[in-house]
Amino acid sequence: MKKHRSLQIVVLFGIIATLLLTAAAPLPAQFVSAANQDLIRLTIKNKNSSPVSLKLEGPGYYYFTVDAESTAVFTVERGEYTSTVYACGATTRDNDIDLSRQKTLVMPICGGNAGPTAQKVTKVDLSQFVKVVPVTLENDSNTNMIMILTGPSTYVFSFKKGESKDFTIVRGEYDLKYYACGTYKTRTWYVHKGSQLTLECP
């Protein structure tokens, strides 16, 4: 009986040892190679004085934040992505980025660009997605005013009676809703460098 039990214990330990050795064995080279081929290195170089964040949606889902004036390296699945860029106080969505090969994404100082080196196939100038421009808005009504701009990014501005303010916002077409004089009105406003807009009572 004792011999039979001892034999069972020996067999059990043999099975456990086999399982452990199998689990520890390296994957075949072809599997490792295929896995590596599906991943690329993504470098984000932030030259701006504030953090930049990037959301990627495609073969994988990623959300990265890179501190001001710093560089970070990530690994992502290879493929085509739709990105959302958060930079310069703005949010721009639905930007297509081809990450079928290793890439460096460069965020320059707000209002600037990454220079000619960003035109290389392996580099992307994020300022092409975040084109910020200076604008002037003025409340020419006889009450306080609130303006809400919805477009490439979303902004909410408040003004006192007769007040004018300068802002830096993302260039593009906006739906503008403004409240003053006890009512509101909507309109479309296309923003470019140096745009000026004066609003009266709706």
> What's the whole-model pTM score?
0.60
Residue 146 pLDDT more than 70?
yes
Domains of the chain: 29-128 (2.60.40), 132-199 (2.60.40.10)
Averaged confidence pLDDT in the chain: 83
Instruction: Band the pLDDT of 66: cuts 50, 70, 90.
Output: very high
In tens, the pLDDT along 87-132 reads 887 788 888 899 999 999 999 887 777 776 545 678 888 888 877 8
The answer to whether 40 and 76 are in contact (CB under 8 A) is yes
Q: Determine the residue type at 155.
A: Y
182 closest CA partner among 152, 155, 142, 129: 142
Residue 10 pLDDT more than 70?
no
The answer to whether 56 and 97 are in contact (CB under 8 A) is yes
Q: Determine the residue type at 170.
A: V
Instruction: Band the pLDDT of 165: cuts 50, 70, 90.
Output: very high
In the chain, what percentage of residues exceed pLDDT 70? 79
Sheet holding 164-170, edge to edge: 164-170, 132-139, 195-199
Report the distance separating Cα 157 and Cα 149, nearest Å: 8
The per-residue pLDDT for 20 is: 54
CA-CA-CA-CA torsion sign (56, 57, 58, 63): positive
In tens, the pLDDT along 31-65 reads 444 455 689 999 999 998 889 999 999 999 999 99
The answer to whether 162 and 140 are in contact (CB under 8 A) is yes
